[in-house]
């Protein structure tokens, strides 16, 4: 066993314990879980926002249509995730409750940053409290609240706004493609084609239309719409 590995042993037993070199190892493990999750892509386009993700169907007997990895938070907000999706479900339900409560209280749709901050604050709280563990999930939250917005949150409680980004196992490969081919003037239709193409290039022979889950919110309607399998199939050609 390497000396450094020996020195690190024990410092990952509690979430609140810093290692000698200033790291919270449980948080780093959670971030690693996100990197091993299904690939998800978010993009801000000139006429809306979109999310595209890999359903990663584990068994051919699974009903592909029953797997949803993009969730509606409110009419104008949606989210997807990479990592432990049961953790994502809990966070999405919290976001849905917050959005619904805001509508009841103020009779108007919630701004996206308020949702992002609330989820990020909870994630951060779980990095400093004994008896808890970090959420093992990174989330892409996209929507329109006057502006077209896309945020990424991670297990540390950090959140960053992006024009286009990817998370999950294909993050590096897809991010490279986005850096080269993404442009702010892309329409949602063009953005969908780019995102699906990037996913196809990463997955290679494993790519299948049934693996893709996609949704968009258009600037005019401000309502989440799922992209049909037929439409995805046309964009693949």
Residue 209 counted as domain residue:
yes
Residue 17 counted as domain residue:
no
- pLDDT one-digit tens code per residue, 58-95: 788 888 788 889 999 999 999 999 999 999 999 999 99
| Structure tokens that stand for 92 in this block | 């999405």
Calculate helix-pair angle for 171-181, 188-203, nearest 10 degrees.
140
Q: Which residue range forms the structural domain that includes residue 94? A: 30-236
Residue 2 counted as domain residue:
no
Residue 196 counted as domain residue:
yes
Residue 117 counted as domain residue:
yes
- pLDDT one-digit tens code per residue, 15-24: 888 888 888 8
- pLDDT one-digit tens code per residue, 37-65: 999 999 999 999 999 999 988 788 888 78
* Closest to 26 (Cα-Cα) out of 34, 35, 37, 16: 16
pTM for the predicted model, two decimal places: 0.92
Q: Which CATH number goes with the domain that contains 211?
A: 3.60.20.10
């Amino acid at each position: 066993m390497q000396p450094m590995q020996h020195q690190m042993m024990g410092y990952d037993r509690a979430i609140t314990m810093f290692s000698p070199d200033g790291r919270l190892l449980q948080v780093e493990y959670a971030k690693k879980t996100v990197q091993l999750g299904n690939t998800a892509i978010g993009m801000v386009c000139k006429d809306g926002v979109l999310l595209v993700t890999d359903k990663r169907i584990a068994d051919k007997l699974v009903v592909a249509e029953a797997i949803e990895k993009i969730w509606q938070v409110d009419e104008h907000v949606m989210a997807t995730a990479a990592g432990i999706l049961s953790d994502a479900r809990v966070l999405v339900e919290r976001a849905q409750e917050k959005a619904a409560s805001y509508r009841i209280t103020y009779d108007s749709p919630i701004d996206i940053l308020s949702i992002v901050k609330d989820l990020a604050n909870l994630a951060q709280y779980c990095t400093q409290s004994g008896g808890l563990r970090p959420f093992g999930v990174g989330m892409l939250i996209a929507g329109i609240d006057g502006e077209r917005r896309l945020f990424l949150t991670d297990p540390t409680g950090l959140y960053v706004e992006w024009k286009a980004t990817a998370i999950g196992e294909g993050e590096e490969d897809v991010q490279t493609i986005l850096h080269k081919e993404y442009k702010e003037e892309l329409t949602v239709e063009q953005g969908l084609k780019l995102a699906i193409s990037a996913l196809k290039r990463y997955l290679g022979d494993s790519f299948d239309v049934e693996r893709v889950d996609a949704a968009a919110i258009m600037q005019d309607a401000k309502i989440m719409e799922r992209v049909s399998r037929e439409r995805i199939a046309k964009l693949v050609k």
